[in-house]
Structure 1
């Protein structure tokens, strides 16, 4: 790529960075302070990848959820102090530091979502044994890029404080791979060090409509032949499946790749759920749903109901069944709550003040919420035994009874 083309590409990338509408004001504050303090820094990761894809394909930039910036310094604590100084008056900001990983996460709260800016200093990773969590230490910018999964995610847009210019730092040819639509690992031990990269690679290949390069495909097959997934904890493995539900697109192709590399066989603790995903992937593509959070809950509840059965009238026992599966999926307590709320809505026939995603679920999957003709609390107050409550409600529904006197309820209870 000649100098003029590269300069134009840098310019267009910077323009697109400014179009990350909601995050841009916060990124801009960080950048101005880094420049003021004479730091070299690098934009890297998914944001740069997606910007370049939108430029080469001449398409609208999709919504960016997070921005990664690596700051060229060994002084982690100074960066923490700088970030705290920049945002100390911001109410919508939550800063979390991870000194063991040499990173800082800045969570920005908007009306219906939270986005993230990740700052770090250059890191080096070493894996003591296959599929282990890495030991992180201070490194060079090359070390930091080398620790990433694929070349398309290892492209850096560098600011040089001495010359006051931006340029690309792309030691693994990620820009070329974007143009050629390739997914390529950075070194031959990549999948041995971290087998979850196979699952991420499959997700990226489907999402971006890219193909694995020849060497990467060979390395995937070799790693699977060595049964590398057996070295992974169920927690890490299942978390990658949750990422598919949250971020996955082009699910039909994704399922083909899972089957091609026999990755679906590695899921033991959630085997039934994975089986339903393989069958219904096309149905839960949900292309018209733009909100990823809503899409995630639609997909998740649909698969839970397909795996364990629909939530019926007064079937609150599904709470325990669903919870067991959600815990295996390593879904946080906070993220599980909307599913628990949905169980109660369908079990108790709640029809008022429904969450938006439940309304969509009901419409998309033709899942009617049946309003209860009488509240269980009323039956209990009339002395109906708890074990008979469901039978009474179902009897009233099946016979379409509307006028229910206390005498009539007692009569139905005796019949049952």
Structure 2
């Protein structure tokens, strides 16, 4: 593991080995290690140290308590914590009663899916896999670890969607049915959107869309009911388009335009950041000709347009010389004003002259 060459980890390793032999990499870092993926944030779970002593050790390290009631400390890219169990005692994601655990199997049981429940001892390299996570990882399956603890945190439903979309995993049928039954109305828009954005950046977005639909979350978030067949067609459109457009806004650009939904309203409902607002003004065409491409290029090079989602459009833009640069119009407002146009007439006349300019440009290309 490259992690053993990391100076921050070496500091953690050297300090913890004085107090325990049971400290483990846990969660996403272990999953990503077995997937051969880089993992930026690393979780370490520490056994055989009481909370008071653990706090002193973390102080010596210089780690900051980010969730002291949950025994969690942050040291650069590392989250270091004592193992715990959580019991739901009220409504909301903070309404948990927390207790320490000193059994690795119990500590791993609170994880959401089996692929996130594996542990690696930081000292010996021993792998603990109580719930078949490695087999599920190889089979590309998401399976709930513990039904009782899973249903206590409704955000896990959305986490399952984005995990499936990121890794291309199917959700095991029993787990999917469990997720479908969970009420997610206690979640804030902000927490939902944090998971949706991971979906919008994922490799297998079409799969994520279909799972959203199967869980009833598509209608909940987009306010419209569609058939599974229609959903599958949109999913296929997204997967094909993402081969050419990498922008995280493409998912919503496709869904909202294909279904002719109120883009502005949905973006407001989801409280997405300003980057996604480009969806409101960028044109969407199911069919397009060279003239329309040229008109778009007045505002942006075609390689920046969310609608450049197939090879045909890219080839046309390259042929027209507008793939990597805008079309620079020679039409100026000063000339239009000098010709006697006023107020709103100016913008209308500029657009008319630009259309004529584009037609002449295209005619000259075809000579």
Which bin holds the TM-score, normalised by the shorter protein? 0.5 to 0.7
Q: Does 1:103 align with 2:72?
A: yes
Once the two structures are superposed, residues 8-45 of structure 1 have per-residue CA deviations (whole angstroms, 9 ceiling, x without a partner) of xxxxxxxxx32x7xx96355445444445545421111
SS at match of 1:267: helix
Q: Out of 234, 239, 242, which is 1:280 matched to?
A: 234
Q: TM-score, length-normalised on structure 2?
A: 0.66
State the alpha-carbon separation in 2 of the partners of residues 308 and 386 from structure 1.
32
Q: Does 1:296 align with 2:248?
A: yes
Name the counterpart of 1:81. Answer: 59
Counterparts in 2 of 1:282 and 1:29: CA distance versus 1, 3 Å = farther
SS at match of 1:399: helix
SS at match of 1:126: strand
SS at match of 2:44: strand
Name the counterpart of 2:101. Answer: 140
Q: Does 1:397 align with 2:342?
A: no
Q: Out of 30, 34, 41, which is 2:23 matched to?
A: 41
State the alpha-carbon separation in 2 of the partners of residues 261 and 373 from structure 1.
49
Counterparts in 2 of 1:283 and 1:81: CA distance versus 1, 3 Å = farther
Q: TM-score, length-normalised on structure 1?
A: 0.60
* 1:97-136 alignment, distance < 5 Å: 97-99=66-68, 101-105=70-74, 116-129=77-90, 132-135=93-96
Name the counterpart of 1:373. Answer: 329
Unaligned runs of 5+ in 1: 1-16, 55-60, 86-94, 108-115, 310-320, 403-416
SS at match of 1:394: helix
Is the 1:96–1:104 contact (alpha carbons within 8 Å) kept by the matching residues of 2?
yes
Is the 2:87–2:149 contact (alpha carbons within 8 Å) kept by the matching residues of 1?
no
Q: Does 1:149 align with 2:143?
A: no
Counterparts in 2 of 1:153 and 1:377: CA distance versus 1, 3 Å = farther
Name the counterpart of 2:148. Answer: 189
Counterparts in 2 of 1:306 and 1:127: CA distance versus 1, 3 Å = same
Counterparts in 2 of 1:176 and 1:347: CA distance versus 1, 3 Å = closer
Counterparts in 2 of 1:401 and 1:248: CA distance versus 1, 3 Å = closer
Name the counterpart of 1:328. Answer: 269
Question: Displacement of 1:191 after TM fit?
Answer: 4.6
SS at match of 2:238: coil
Unaligned runs of 5+ in 2: 284-294, 360-367
Q: CA RMSD in A?
A: 4.7
Question: Displacement of 1:140 after TM fit?
Answer: 2.1
SS at match of 1:189: helix
State the alpha-carbon separation in 2 of the partners of residues 82 and 384 from structure 1.
74
State the alpha-carbon separation in 1 of the partners of residues 95 and 8 from structure 2.
28
Counterparts in 2 of 1:384 and 1:28: CA distance versus 1, 3 Å = farther
Once the two structures are superposed, residues 390-413 of structure 1 have per-residue CA deviations (whole angstroms, 9 ceiling, x without a partner) of 3122111122189xxxxxxxxxxx
Name the counterpart of 1:66. Answer: 41
Question: Displacement of 1:134 after TM fit?
Answer: 3.9
State the alpha-carbon separation in 1 of the partners of residues 74 and 252 from structure 2.
27
Name the counterpart of 2:202. Answer: 247
Counterparts in 2 of 1:36 and 1:196: CA distance versus 1, 3 Å = closer
Question: Displacement of 1:148 after TM fit?
Answer: 1.7
Counterparts in 2 of 1:211 and 1:359: CA distance versus 1, 3 Å = closer
Once the two structures are superposed, residues 197-232 of structure 1 have per-residue CA deviations (whole angstroms, 9 ceiling, x without a partner) of 2333344345545444464344335x25xxx23444
Name the counterpart of 2:286. Answer: none
SS at match of 2:156: helix
Name the counterpart of 2:290. Answer: none
